[in-house]
Structure 1
Amino acid sequence: MAMAQHLRQGLPLLRRALTSDTLTAGHRSASIKAFIPTLTNQEFSRNYAAASAPKEQKIKVPLTMFGVSGNYASALYIAAVKANVLDKVESELLTLVEASKRSPTFSQFMKDLSVTADTRMKAINDICAQAKFADITKNFLAVVAESGRLGHIERIAQRFAELTMAHKGEIKAIVTSVIPLPPEEEKELKETLQDIIGHGKKVKVEQKIDTSILGGLVVEFGQKVFDMSIRTRARQMERFLREPVNLDSH
């Protein structure tokens, strides 16, 4: 009960920290820090209930992010790391995003700003209760719902996933092909990418299907794009064939 009360008390601080795009880095950091102590667990509260204030655990965000989605994702990351529920929160956010993709009605509801804050809050609380989401996820989504930012939740989840991957030392490689890669080819590609980036980080492969590339592969990771698709090769060949032939070059 005390834990739930602490969480509720922290909501206004989180809301003020995140709903303004014009917060300076210093003000945003101070507001987030004010929210984070409300997310400590009961054991922490018991052990440090003495008159002297506890030494605050310093959590560093592994990537610098900007904008609304970046602010929300960064604050949630700090809270989740402090409570040691990073993987659980990431999974729950992705579950909500996937549910919205499968339900056009739910997706429209999240984007409809004409829906009252009370209605949004009630719907999100009901969903979180049924899904048995962690308290941090539930209260975070309540803040997002109340501030009318549910339409940004997919982008927030993406930014949060970027933070969790950086936290784990992972790099996501997006591999686009016409059909799913056979396991042996995926394994070989993953090993090749691992050799390229070195062994300080771990490659995580995400496959995408796009028949418009006609064949071959498009591999994206970090800031690099390796386009080995038949579509791109055909366009390159087309440009080459359209170039005028210089008969005087011989």
Structure 2
Amino acid sequence: MAFAGRLRPSLYLMNRLLRTESVFTRRSSAPRSSGNPNFTNSQCLRNFATTPSSKETKIKVPLSLYGVSGNYASALFLAASKANLLDKVESEILDIVEASKRSPVFSQFIKDLSVPGETRVKAVQGIFAEAGFSDITKNFMAILAENGRLRHIESIANSFTELTMAQRGEVKAIVTTVIPLPTEEEKQLKETLQDIIGHGKTVKLEQKIDQSILGGLVVEFSQKVFDMSIKTRARQMEKFLRDPVNFENL
């Protein structure tokens, strides 16, 4: 309870400052290397992709993502959307990421590039067929296996989730604290963020615990970062104390 009391001043100040655009620092949005998936002459791709008919509504990705993860996630989004399986595929991809964290054997398998591509493809096809996954997910994982990209599955899943949330009009906000936010303070933070992003979108708040920030909180959303952690304020104070004083201006 004492820790919760320490969070309140930070939340109060944050509620005031979050409404001022100038307090945010934007993350770099410069395009990374394209990292285009190597889909050329891939039998898996022919199974994975579908040719749109003239009557089919053209589907676009809701966000422009770059790099290996962004390109693969965008390809998966388009395929899942055309098959009307977006929610199912998202659930399956997240299950795969969770399995890679729980199983050391599976984790080692997806990271080991010494395994021949043909062997990797047969392995993932067998694993996910037995698990009852959709053809979209099975074929996508086969493409990753064939191209030696299985080790990127977690970052691809994160990018894919960005796309599905954008499609649903959701904005992910991550709040980092040293202890879980009390229910009332979490509600106040969510309302503040909702006011900022406006109507038509929904805030999805995710809490993270990080003892290293020492106290206060850090809020990240829409490529913006608001840092009111004690750790950052301590660094700022340390820098201020180390800077020489210009007595001529006093």
Residue 159 of structure 1 and its aligned partner are, at CA, apart by 1.1
Q: Deviations over 1:176-218 (max 9, x none)?
A: 1111222222221111100111112111111111111000100
Provide the residue aligned with 2:10 in structure 1. none
Query: How much identity, in percent, do the aligned residues show?
Result: 70
Provide the residue aligned with 1:83 in structure 2. 83
Give the whole-Å Cα distance in 2 for the aligned partners of 1:189 and 1:69.
31
Give the whole-Å Cα distance in 2 for the aligned partners of 1:213 and 1:182.
18
Distance 1:104 1:233, change over 3 A: same
- Equivalent residues of 1:117, 1:146 under 8 A apart: yes
Provide the residue aligned with 2:200 in structure 1. 200
Give the whole-Å Cα distance in 1 for the aligned partners of 2:121 and 2:92.
17
Provide the residue aligned with 1:36 in structure 2. 50
Give the whole-Å Cα distance in 2 for the aligned partners of 1:85 and 1:126.
21
| Residue 19 (1) aligns with residue 33 (2) | no
Provide the residue aligned with 1:185 in structure 2. 185
Residue 54 of structure 1 and its aligned partner are, at CA, apart by 4.7
Provide the residue aligned with 1:170 in structure 2. 170
1:1-250 to 2 correspondence within 5 Å? 18-19=37-38, 35-37=49-51, 54-247=54-247, 249-250=249-250
Distance 1:234 1:122, change over 3 A: same
Q: Deviations over 1:7-34 (max 9, x none)?
A: xxxxxxxxxx8316xx9xxxxxxx99x9
| Amino acid paired to 2:160 | F
- Superposition RMSD in Å: 2.3
Structure 2 unaligned regions, length at least 5: 1-35
Greater relative contact order (Cα 8 A, min sep 6): structure 1 or 2? Answer: 2
Give the whole-Å Cα distance in 2 for the aligned partners of 1:247 and 1:140.
65
Q: Comparing both structures, which one devotes a greater share of its residues to helix?
A: 1
- Equivalent residues of 1:36, 1:78 under 8 A apart: no
TM-score of the aligned structures, taking structure 2 as reference length? 0.77
| Amino acid paired to 1:161 | T
Q: Could you say what secondary structure the match of 2:101 adopts?
A: helix
Residue 174 of structure 1 and its aligned partner are, at CA, apart by 1.1
Give the whole-Å Cα distance in 1 for the aligned partners of 2:129 and 2:225.
41
- Equivalent residues of 1:19, 1:147 under 8 A apart: yes
Give the whole-Å Cα distance in 1 for the aligned partners of 2:85 and 2:76.
11
Q: Could you say what secondary structure the match of 1:216 adopts?
A: coil
TM-score of the aligned structures, taking structure 1 as reference length? 0.77
Q: Could you say what secondary structure the match of 2:62 adopts?
A: coil
Residue 249 of structure 1 and its aligned partner are, at CA, apart by 4.5
Residue 107 of structure 1 and its aligned partner are, at CA, apart by 1.4
Q: Could you say what secondary structure the match of 2:50 adopts?
A: helix
Q: Could you say what secondary structure the match of 2:208 adopts?
A: strand
| Amino acid paired to 2:49 | F
| Amino acid paired to 1:37 | T
| Amino acid paired to 1:118 | E
Give the whole-Å Cα distance in 1 for the aligned partners of 2:113 and 2:244.
56
Q: Could you say what secondary structure the match of 1:161 adopts?
A: helix
Give the whole-Å Cα distance in 1 for the aligned partners of 2:180 and 2:131.
31
Give the whole-Å Cα distance in 2 for the aligned partners of 1:125 and 1:184.
47
Give the whole-Å Cα distance in 1 for the aligned partners of 2:183 and 2:123.
41
Q: Could you say what secondary structure the match of 1:64 adopts?
A: coil
